[in-house]
Amino acid sequence: TDNYAAAEIGAEKIFEVKQDQIKNATIDEPVRIGVLSQEVNSQSISDRTQGFIDKMEELILTLDEIEAVAIVGHTKFGVSEKEAAVIIDLQVPAQLTDAAGQTTGQTLLNKEDTIAVFASNEFASKALINANDSVGGILGEDIIGVGFDSGKMQQDAVRNNVFLGSITQDPISIGYQAVTLAIKAINGEEVEDVDTGAIWYNSENIDTEDI
């Protein structure tokens, strides 16, 4: 999976829904878009985090009303001290436990200016769902959640419109291409990485054959 490109889908979907709210943000009354990531070391999750942040910033800066975006929360992805009408806030749990993930998700949901949260994998998506339950179920219209991967809890959140939707990889293509490339390699043919793609799913298409 091209994880950078896959995460861009999440940014596009949030921007599509929240564009007007972002457009009306000011330095005095900013809006915050949260990113909840399991960690910042593995390439796949780092690529998703970076892909989402870069695409979201790019989309926001197409708006004439917005002059700058502040990126805060973790030094690896560039902490900005500048004042801005829009804040992208990356939060990473201190420990890789369900409790720590839930607490970190609550931190984002409890900020008064948060309008959306992107969870970059199954662990982060589960953490965001648990955090939402613990604060009384506020994900939906005012604050939208977008996930990545497709565990049962996340599927239920999508079906019930707790999440706007999520991004899934294509495991069938991953397995198929692995065998195809292995045979080519055995036969001495040149091989290169193949992007098996990613697909957006929501409550409308989750039960279709393709998804």
pLDDT digits (tens, 9 = 90+) for 103-141: 999 999 999 999 999 999 999 999 999 999 999 999 998
pTM: 0.94
Mutual angle of helices 98-109 and 122-134, in 10-degree steps: 60
Q: Give start and end residues of each alpha helix (H) in the chain.
A: 3-23, 43-60, 98-109, 122-134, 152-159, 171-186
pLDDT at 81: 63
- Cβ atoms of 11 and 59 within 8 Å: the answer is yes
pLDDT at 37: 97
What is the mean predicted confidence (pLDDT) over 11-28?
Answer: 97
Instruction: Give the 3-state secondary structure of residue 94.
Output: coil
Task: Render 98-130 in DSSP notation, one character per residue.
Answer: HHHHHHHHHHHHTSTTEEEEEE-SHHHHHHHHH
Q: How far apart are CA 186 and CA 164, in angstroms?
A: 44
Q: How far apart are CA 84 and CA 31, in angstroms?
A: 9
Per DSSP, 25 falls in state -
pLDDT at 78: 67
pLDDT of 33 strictly over 70: yes
- Cβ atoms of 132 and 145 within 8 Å: the answer is yes
What is the mean predicted confidence (pLDDT) over 10-28?
Answer: 97
Selected residue with higher pLDDT from 74 and 172: 172
